[in-house]
Amino acid sequence: MYVVLVYDMRAERTGRMLRLCRRYLTHVQNSVLEGEISKGDLERLRGEIEDTLEPGESTIIYELSSDTLLDRTVYGEDPTEDSRFL
Amino acid sequence: MYVVLVYDMRAERTGRMLRLCRRYLTHVQNSVLEGEISKGDLERLRGEIEDTLEPGESTIIYELSSDTLLDRTVYGEDPTEDSRFL
């Protein structure tokens, strides 16, 4: 399936969540990752996220069947097009 | 259709984008909004976003057909459950 993941962490802890999520997904914007993921990997990722989050922090995972994302449009600068997030 | 919108603005300009997007969508996390929107409203919102963005800022809009969002799971504190974003 295809997932879009958005996290909201305390500023000094964003790097930790980003490193975790990047093992499974592609970083597309400041606190947003997306990509194809297997059910098994998604379960692992969910568990690791729950272990990582502290009070006041949150993560939303949108699960989509792969063929139902109608469109994805980036306005402004597309961070995936430059080296900002490499 | 149903859209998920994620913005990445300079810190001092996030309020402006939030106010704009809130006229059409529901605020669900720090820089994330979602909701049902008509094609006409989506076109208006796209135009207003493009007018608002400055260099280095970006917004991603995911368009989904309304019945195909398989799951949406919030880990950690769900900001829609308290008054933090009201």
- Domain annotation covers residue B34: yes
- Domain annotation covers residue A80: no
Q: CB distance B8–A72 less than 8 Å?
A: no
Residue pairs between chains A and B whose CB atoms are closer than 8 Å: 125
Cβ neighbours, 10 Å, residue A43: 11
- Domain annotation covers residue B85: no
- Domain annotation covers residue B76: no
Q: CATH number for the domain including A46?
A: 3.30.70.240
- Domain annotation covers residue A38: yes
Domains held by chain A: number: 1
- Domain annotation covers residue B11: yes
CA angle A13/B61/A19 to nearest 5° reads 25
A26 and chain B in contact, CB less than 8 A:
no
| Structural domain that includes position A11 | 2-67
**Mean local confidence (pLDDT), B11-37:** 94
- Domain annotation covers residue B84: no
Residue A31 with chain B: CB contacts under 8 Å:
6, 8, 30-31
Mean pLDDT check: name the lowest of A21-25, A34-38, B62-66, B82-86: B82-86
**Mean local confidence (pLDDT), B4-17:** 93
- Give the residues of chain A that fall short of pLDDT 50: 82-86
Phi/psi at B56 (nearest 5 deg)? Answer: 90, -10
pLDDT for residue B83 is more than 50: no
**Mean local confidence (pLDDT), B57-63:** 91
